[in-house]
Amino acid sequence: MASILIVDDAAFMRMMIKDILTKNGYDIAGEAANGQEAIAKYKEVKPDLVTMDITMPEMDGIEALKKIREEDASAKVIMCSAMGQQSMVIDAIQNGAKDFIVKPFQADRVVEAIQKVLV
């Protein structure tokens, strides 16, 4: 099954996504709490897919997305956004994000996005 790196500064959000993914048979490659950690972890674990929060301290999700895509042009990244972050979501898609999911997470939407991107 696909391995997924979960990136979110809120431990609670990471736990929620991890719960949805493990229940659906996905393997958790690792977790990161900010963009800097996400890049280091990506290089280390080489996941099949990344769920990336947009708003994080130190380095936001869009910067981390750009850096990961510089490292690996085929990286599959799904952005996680709060309501009202439309312009950031558009920015992320333009920078190579494959899809986005909105908080609070709906389990079926998360799984649907991941399945779609991993095909």
Q: Per-residue pLDDT averaged across 52-64, rounded? A: 95
Verdict on whether the full-model pTM lies above 0.85 = yes
Q: Per-residue pLDDT for 15 more than 90?
A: yes
Q: At 16, is the pLDDT very low, low, confident or very high (cuts 50, 70, 90)?
A: very high
The pLDDT score that the predictor gives to residue 78 is: 98
Query: Mean pLDDT, to the nearest integer, of 73-78?
Result: 98
Please choose, from the candidates 110, 95, 87, the residue with its C-alpha nearest in 3D space to the C-alpha of residue 13. 110
Give the domains, in start order, of the chain with CATH numbers.
16-118 (3.40.50.2300)
